[in-house]
Amino acid sequence: MKIFILKLNELECIDERLLDNVLTELSEYLGIRFECIPKKFQLPNNTYNKTRMQYDANEILNYIRRTIDTKGNKIIATICDDIYVEGTNFIFGLAEINGNYCILSLKRLRNEDLKIFKERIFKEMLHELGHCFGLRHCSNDCAMKFSNSIFEVDMKNKYLCEKCFRYIKLKLENLKKKI
């Protein structure tokens, strides 16, 4: 059982070492291995909405599902461009609940202060992966709390609350027995 990292388009907004730092930290926190897919994926035109000048997150997930078989592992796609789903101005990320595919946009997480940028990526990656492991939004001070704005991202806990952490650990143990 591992988590694949997929880099979409140019991913020019982040230094590779910075992303690696976050992945190492997440890997230690969750006790799971991360593996970067070395190939860069250029998204097809149908995932981009020219009028909105944003990518359609559902279309991206459809594309990844068609392109990559995770063989039961989880995959998180990262992109520097802005993403949305119908009915929103933008979203930070999108995940299949209890599924294998999720996406995180770094666009609105960026900050000149790299410590802040790193912490935001950590939280939101944990959040989207949490959904993939079956977690829903949580009302505790927890990374699974829903955030509508970057302010709310900064305000919430970097880590999971005890309840969510216990849930995800149990889920991981069970998954590790299968793959």
Token pair of 102, please?
């999720």
Closest separation between CB of residue 156 and Zn ion, Å? Answer: 10
- Among the listed residues 119, 128, 162, 173, the single catalytic one is 128
Decide whether 15 or 141 has the Cβ nearer to Zn ion: 141
Closest separation between CB of residue 138 and Zn ion, Å? Answer: 3
Angle at 126 between CA 99 and CA 138, to 5 degrees: 85
Measured CA distances, 117 to 29, 46, 52 (Å): 18, 30, 25
**Residue 128 is a catalytic residue:** yes
CB-CB contact of 109 with 121 (8 Å)? yes
**Among candidate residues 90, 100, 102, 33, the one with its CA nearest the CA of residue 61:** 102
Closest separation between CB of residue 5 and Zn ion, Å? Answer: 19
Residues of the shown chain interacting with Zn ion in the complex, contacts defined by CB under 5 A: 138, 140, 142, 144, 161, 164
Decide whether 41 or 122 has the Cβ nearer to Zn ion: 122
Task: Find tokens 């594309």 and name the residue.
Answer: 63
CB-CB contact of 93 with 81 (8 Å)? no
Decide whether 41 or 93 has the Cβ nearer to Zn ion: 93
CB-CB contact of 13 with 79 (8 Å)? no
Closest separation between CB of residue 161 and Zn ion, Å? Answer: 3
Decide whether 41 or 130 has the Cβ nearer to Zn ion: 130
Cβ burial 115-127 (10 Å sphere, 16+ → b, else e): eebbbbbbbbbbb
Tell me the catalytic residues: 128
